[in-house]
Amino acid sequence: MKLFNSTTGWLLLLALALAFPFLAGNDYHLTVMSTAYIYAIATIGLNLITGYTGQYNLAHSGFMAVGAYTVGILTVDHQVPFWIAFLLAGVVAAALGFFVGLVSLRLKTHFFSIFTLCVGYIMYLLIEKWESLTHGTVGIIGIPAPPSIGSIDFTEPRPQYYLVLLFLVASLWIMHRIVRSLLGRTFMAIRNGDDLAQALGINLMRNKLLAFMLSVFFAGLAGGLYAGFVRFIGPGVASVEHTFDMTMYMLVGGIGTLLGPLLGAIGVPWLTQYLQVLQDYRFVVFGPLLVILVIFLPYGIVGTWMNRKRRKEALAAQAAASSAPRDLSSISTAKGATHA
Amino acid sequence: MELFLQQVLNGLTLGGVYSLVALGLTLVYGILHVPNFAHGAFYMAGAYSAFFIMTKLGLNYWWGMLGAAVVVALISVLSERLVFHPLRKAPYLHHMIASIGILLFLEAGAQAIWGADFHRMETPYTQLLEFGGLTLPAQRLLIIGAAFLLVALLQLFLKKTITGATIVAMAQNREGAALVGIDANRVAMLTFAIAGALAGMAAVLYAPINLVYTSMGNLVITKAFVIIVLGGMGSVPGAIVGGLIIGFAEAFGAFYISTDYKDIIAFALLVLILSVRPQGLFAKGAH
């Protein structure tokens, strides 16, 4: 895993992703991968509020649907150009996130999750019943694809794939910057202990709200991308099941890491693709898998790996420290390291 | 006036069912201090067990209900032993995700076995009773009667028996309960069994006027959460009062506001109340 602490590892992944359309057997594989990337963007967002800030948001797919419907409604009913609608998808989701967060983030731990679960249901039910705005259960048909640039036509699977990949890379880079910044450290401090963070002078509400808005901004953009990619949306996008899916991706890879949710979001859908029988019954396997993961591998594949590496380093540091007893700083940093 | 009384009856029906589900949830919360999202799937499992007993084994409605209570109590205890017990020292987030895992497994499992179709559960009580100008469907009266009988029995059990008192003691103070020699494992299993049985019976009561399908527990459990947040997490009287409040809000809301939006009413109420009082209506203090 040393590889992924370096830029080389990430560049290798990027090279693989860029080469994928030439390796993939057919267009169907491209479509599967592009969809996985879109959900990866949303999962990266969910990981910011859940993995890094410690607030488990159950309305995440609702916010993704808000983004998708913003694009759908604006482009189909109001002929707004795709890219403007797309940008607004993120903005509308974040703005809604501000109001939802204002109320919900005052609630601690599982109260926040219960509240957001209800918000998720309200979003789903509103999308289904508010026919004059959302077209109800019929859904919105004929959403335009992103407009073509020169000869690059975004209704074709390949250009589509690269476009989605571009957004995924951008999202990862932005998330990397956030997590490595003081702001990211602040979020992690809140995750590791509300009271302690507050004692350190961190404004809990302001930072949680910021994390929440950033998180759902990603969900909104992912939803907007989804609308332009699939070009048909129905209330199902808002289904809480999708939030559960994203939780799955996050946990398999490793919650609170940058690489984990990405690998989970790409790996798990591929696994389901190959086990065709799973399609409808994926949760027969996913459900117990979630349980097994939280019991035996709570930090996921990437997180567990990183923890093990850290422990080795800590042991090495300890050995070094015992031979030179004055150097205590190395022990405390090694012990204080979280799985972030 | 008759229409008004009709809504009172609807409110009592819904309130009774919601209270039963919320009671189990609140008891488990008291022991575990974590919301058990799988409780909605327990409810669904109850309806399917009874449906199977009635259609495949040809037994009557009451055997169906008894069977559902036993089956769901078993599922509930099993999930405590296999999932929640090993996690008891883990952070709350892990409990919550694990309970979602159980929920997904049971729902997908039911769908794999019985398919995604909606089923109708037969009830022997299809008569309409005329009572002072009111038309009362017998099944609704049965729901109200049975729900309140079960609630009363549970209250008696918790208040008057030593076993019941150990549950209350552990819900109030885990360490204290352990100090006086209460076996935490036994109490946890018992609580899960009671919660499961209540959810199973609630489902069998309500299913004949609703339908049986795999996601039938989702809305009910979400409303049960609204109820126990309203009534104070872990509070038994809170769950009963909260259940009635939501039942009435929904019955009257459906009638006077809109049937389309009746499911949103409970949630909107929660959002409204928590905006004003983040600690819930009757909570003594935030947990």
Whether chain B has a CB inside 8 Å of the CB on A110: the answer is yes
Residue B235 lies in a domain: no
> Under a CB-based contact definition with an 8 Å cutoff, are residues B198 and B16 in contact?
no
Q: Which of A284, A296, A297, A339 would you mutate first to test chain B, the one with the most B CBs within 10 A?
A: A284
Residue B257 lies in a domain: no
**Maximum mean pLDDT: which of A281-295, B171-185, B188-202, B266-280:** B188-202
Distances (CA, A) of B197 to B28, B31, B44, B171: 12, 17, 12, 19
Range list of β-strands (E), A122-212 = 140-141
Q: How far does CA B49 lie from the centroid of its chain?
A: 16
Residues of A in contact with B225 (CB under 8 A): 114, 117-118
Residue B23 lies in a domain: yes
Between A7-11, A280-284, B145-149, B181-185, the lowest mean confidence (pLDDT) is in A280-284
Residue B100 lies in a domain: yes
CB-based contact A294 B97, cutoff 8 Å: yes
Single pTM value for the model: 0.86
Residue B252 lies in a domain: no
Q: What is the pLDDT of residue B74?
A: 96
Interface of B with A in 191-230 (CB under 8 A): 218-219, 222, 225-226, 229
d(CA A100, CA B10): 32
pLDDT digits (tens, 9 = 90+) for A121-173: 899 999 999 988 998 888 999 898 888 888 888 888 888 999 999 999 999 99
Number of domains in chain B: 1
CB-based contact A286 B104, cutoff 8 Å: yes
Of B83, B225, B263, the CB nearest to A125: B263
What percentage of chain B carries pLDDT values higher than 90?
A: 34
Q: Is the pLDDT of residue A3 over 80?
A: no
Residue B134 lies in a domain: yes
d(CA A69, CA A242): 16
User: Which amino acid, one-letter code, is at B79?
Assistant: S
Residue B238 lies in a domain: no
Q: Is the pLDDT of residue B279 over 80?
A: no
Task: Find, in chain A, the residue whose alpha carbon is nearest to that of B229.
Answer: A111
Between A57-66, A219-228, A258-267, the lowest mean confidence (pLDDT) is in A258-267
Of A110, A129, A287, the CB nearest to B260: A129
Residues of A in contact with B215 (CB under 8 A): none
Please state, rounded to an integer, the average pLDDT across all residues of chain A. Answer: 86
Q: Is the pLDDT of residue B283 over 80?
A: no
Range(s) of the domain holding residue B119: 17-215
Of A104, A117, A294, the CB nearest to B94: A294
For residue A276, what are its two tokens?
Answer: 């065709």
Q: What is the pLDDT of residue A316?
A: 83
Q: What is the pLDDT of residue A334?
A: 39
Model confidence band, residue A327 (pLDDT cutoffs 50, 70, 90): very low
User: Which amino acid, one-letter code, is at A186?
Assistant: T
Q: Which of A53, A109, A123, A246 would you mutate first to test chain B, the one with the most B CBs within 10 A?
A: A109
d(CA A112, CA A101): 9
d(CA A201, CA B105): 43
For residue A165, what are its two tokens?
Answer: 């990949």
Residues of B in contact with A50 (CB under 8 A): 93
Residue B251 lies in a domain: no
Interface of B with A in 43-82 (CB under 8 A): 82
A-B CB pairs within 8 A amount to 119
